[in-house]
Amino acid sequence: MVKKKKPTKAQQRKIKQRRSMFLAILALFVLGLALVVLMQFRAVEKPKPYTQDIPEQYVAIYQRAAKEYGLDWFLLAAVHRVETKFSTVEPMISSVGAIGPMQFMPCTFVGWSADGCPATGGVGTFTDDDLVDPAIIKKYGGYGVDANGDGKADPWDLEDAVFSTANFLADNGAKDGKEAQAIFKYNHSNVYVKDILFYRDEFKKAWNKDIATK
């Protein structure tokens, strides 16, 4: 019987290294397999319904604007949700040039008779200072509102933007109960109108249910 030689220390180290490498490769394989299975599961998983609540810090702004212009404040919350997901979309500039949390075209905010408005499709050629100047907005008949009294009507300021949206919707029929008409004027899309009314109704139901349980 031939007696096996005991591996040298160097050989033992190599054996341990090979074993460790094998275990590491095996672990990576198992992890990769688990990820594939998880991805396949998610691929067939039904999308979850939207459940985000209205951010509490915005409610007072919606309510004040709605009271000022005779609207349903849930309508303003719905516009904010659909336009920028409650100001969480960055940057808040659309492909056609709409800006701010409520996505106003600059010329709608300042007034369509302002410099360059029809020629630029609503972006205008006026200065940044003119964009927020209440006197300029009044001159050109825009919908921009200085809601917080800081001397500027700023489409990037949420309070100003929400009040400006309320001003627009009210002037285009919402204060008289013609909400769908006013929403269509805000964005000429029937799908957009349906989306706004859907979120308005969902927010209202959730809010009233929450109030009833308190």
- pLDDT per position in the chain (214 positions), as tens? 445 555 565 556 656 666 666 555 555 544 444 433 333 333 333 434 434 689 999 999 999 999 999 999 999 999 999 999 999 999 999 999 999 999 999 999 999 999 999 999 999 999 999 999 999 999 999 999 999 999 999 999 999 999 999 999 999 999 999 999 999 999 999 999 999 999 999 999 999 887 777 6
The answer to whether the CB of 54 falls within 8 A of the CB of 72 is: no
pLDDT of residue 183: 98
Q: How many residues does the chain have?
A: 214
What is the model's pLDDT at position 145?
98
User: Do 114 and 142 meet the contact criterion of CB atoms below 8 Å apart?
Assistant: yes
Give the per-residue pLDDT at 14: 58
Angle ∠(64,67,71) on CA atoms, nearest 5: 115
- pLDDT at position 165 is 98
Radius of gyration of the CA atoms of the chain, in A: 29
Question: Rounded CA gap, 70 and 156, in Å?
Answer: 23
Per-residue model confidence (pLDDT) at position 176: 96
C-alpha 113: how far from chain center: 30
* 118 Ramachandran zone, left/alpha/beta (phi>0; psi -120 to 50): alpha
Per-residue pLDDT at 21: 61
pLDDT score of 53: 86
Axis crossing angle, helix 73-84 with helix 179-186, rounded to the nearest 10: 30
pLDDT score of 129:
97
Distances (CA, A) of 36 to 27, 107, 129, 158, 172: 14, 50, 54, 43, 52
pTM of the predicted model, to two decimals? Answer: 0.75
